[in-house]
Structure formats: structure tokens, C-alpha cells
Amino acid sequence: MQPTLWQRLDSFARALTPFVLTVLLLLVSMTPVRSPYLAPVIPSIALIAVYYWSVFRPDLMPSGAVFLIGLLHDLIGVAPLGSGVLALLMVHAAVGAQRKFFATAGFGLLWLAFAVLASAAQLLIWLLSCLLIGRLVDLSPAILQVAVTLAIYPCLFWLFGRCQQLFLREAEPVR
């Protein structure tokens, strides 16, 4: 029996959940704040989301979606255009290359792997910034952002896990 229009729309909406949730959280996190001292402590929500969904639902976080998320991040952020795209695609590719490891890892190991990838991604963005500006930029804000991102990771891991349980359960067979 063919699925009905509503069933197809439901499946489509569920498939968009990781992308839409990531974009909404990205927009909230990039809301302008009036203090210049808060900019370095804003966590990289997009990085956490791309990592999580690339690990647990890679079918719902394809590289095209990662590219769009990175582009949006670059357009509303302060990093050089393209650096966020490159960093997110790098994380997505790294997870894809080690799918077997990530599929069997526990939370602690996933967090540690995220720490390594988040540090590498932030270092890449810092290096690109230095190259484009033509001089060394202070590294301490990048280190602080990685630390804050690592601190908030468990909260978003839990949130994404709940969303996955609530919205992305396997579709029941059509009768």
C-alpha cells in the first residue's frame, strides 16, 4: 500500500528535524549581544549539532545540509567567509571516515573525540583568520570558545537525544 500524502509529509518533516533544529539553535546563539566580552564565550552550537547528527543520524545530516549551516554561520558570524563551512565539513568528513568507531563509542569517548575535532576546527578557523588578516591574531578567544563549547556539549547531546527519541523514531509500517 502506498503511503498517503500526510505520511509522506510527516516523513519529510521528520527528516528535516536535525537541519531545522540546528539552524534555529544557531540563530539563537548568534543573537547580537551588547557586550563585546561575551562574543568569545558563545559556544559553537553548529559544531556540536553537526557532530551529533553526523554520528547518530548521518542520513539526516548530509554534506549539503552541513554546507548550508556553515554558510549561514559564516554570513551572520565574525569569522572569515568560508572558514565555518570548511570547519563543519571537516568535522562531518572525519565522523564519516570513522563511522565504525563512533557507532560503538560511549558518551565519554564521544565527548573526547568531539574535544579533539572541536579544537582542530577552531584552530583551522584561527589559522584562516590569521592568513586573511595577514598577522597573528590572539588565540585566547578561540581557546575560550572551545572550552565553553565543550562545557555545553553534554546539554546539547541530551537535547538532541531527546529530539531523536521523540521525532525521529523509526516510522511504523503502513497498514
Radius of gyration over alpha carbons of the chain, in Å? 17
- Are 23 and 72 in contact by the 8 Å Cβ rule? The answer is yes
| pLDDT score at 34 | 67
| pLDDT score at 77 | 80
| pLDDT score at 153 | 97
| pLDDT score at 170 | 54
State the pTM of this model: 0.89
| pLDDT score at 39 | 63
The two counts, helices (H) then strands (E), for the chain are 7, 0
| pLDDT score at 171 | 41
| pLDDT score at 92 | 97
Strand blocks (E) in 21-164: none
| pLDDT score at 28 | 87
Q: Domain ranges for the chain, please list them.
A: 5-29+39-167
Low-confidence ranges of the chain (pLDDT < 50): 171-175
